[in-house]
Structure 1
């Protein structure tokens, strides 16, 4: 059995930035129709979409680097984890009450984000294209 090729951290960050941008566009441009379909509050969807824009920009900038700083990779991974947690905690704590379609929307996008975070964490662990932070700054 051949090992599966692993994507580089830069490739994963670029993919994360692209999916983040797509979700931002979907949530900001179609907040009302998605809200009607999912029973999620339209202002929450719109605000989440707006919040994703600078995140996507940060990811895209890091993806273009030859060596991604370890801190930047960790910010993305932890941010993705936070997104997943909030996506699931909002309905579990009844701060929002989605219908079945809304639950599916929240769970499926949370699984996709969790998958990206896991792949990014693995790439970080492999140390491919990472700048390690030292006491006096960053070294290659």
Structure 2
């Protein structure tokens, strides 16, 4: 005979975390796509954006690894709240660093480069807000 008694917290926790899981997976998709584009196009994008190829390659690789981590986090049976905070704070730091890059003294950043950096910062800010809201 199969035991049908289960923990009442597990289904509720999984269901209540569904929005968070979706946001983590969307963040992973966006981060992974930007990471692949940055890494693969680092040599071609440097003149357009005004960012060194080495920086674009490094950021691209980081974003791909980050995306894989987000997928792994979203697939856990229960997404740990402390790890969600790490993602929210990391995304917030990314936004602040992106804005600092644009308003700072980076001499080589082009107008299209500033637009790309600010657009991705805005997207990351939305992800951070959604992850915070659904944590």
TM-score tier (shorter): 0.7 to 0.9
SS at match of 2:21: helix
Partner residue, 2:11: none
TM-score by length of 2: 0.81
Q: Aligned-pair distance for 1:66?
A: 3.0
Quote the offset at 1:40 in angstroms.
1.5
Residues matched between the structures, number: 118
* Alignment RMSD (CA, Å): 1.4
- Which residue of 2 is the match for residue 44 of structure 1? 55
Structure with the larger helix share: 2
Question: Which consecutive unaligned segments of at least 5 residues does structure 2 have?
Answer: 1-17
Question: C-alpha distance in 1, partners of 2:71/2:113?
Answer: 29
SS in 2 for 1:120: helix
**Mapping of residues 1-140 of structure 1, within 5 Å:** 8-124=19-135
**Offset from partner CA, 1:100-123 (integer Å, 9 cap, x none):** 111100100100011111011001
In the alignment, structure 1 segments of 5+ residues that lack a partner are 1-6, 125-140
Residues of 2 paired with 1:85 and 1:52: CA distance?
Answer: 17
> 3-state SS of the aligned residue for 1:8?
helix
Which structure is larger by alpha-carbon Rg, 1 or 2? 2
Task: Give TM-score scaled by structure 1 length.
Answer: 0.78
Asked if structure 2 preserves the Cα contact closer than 8 Å seen for 1:91 and 1:97, the reply is no
Cα distance in structure 1, aligned partners of 2:49 and 2:82 = 36
Q: Distance in 2 between the 1:10 and 1:84 partners?
A: 21
Larger strand percent: 1
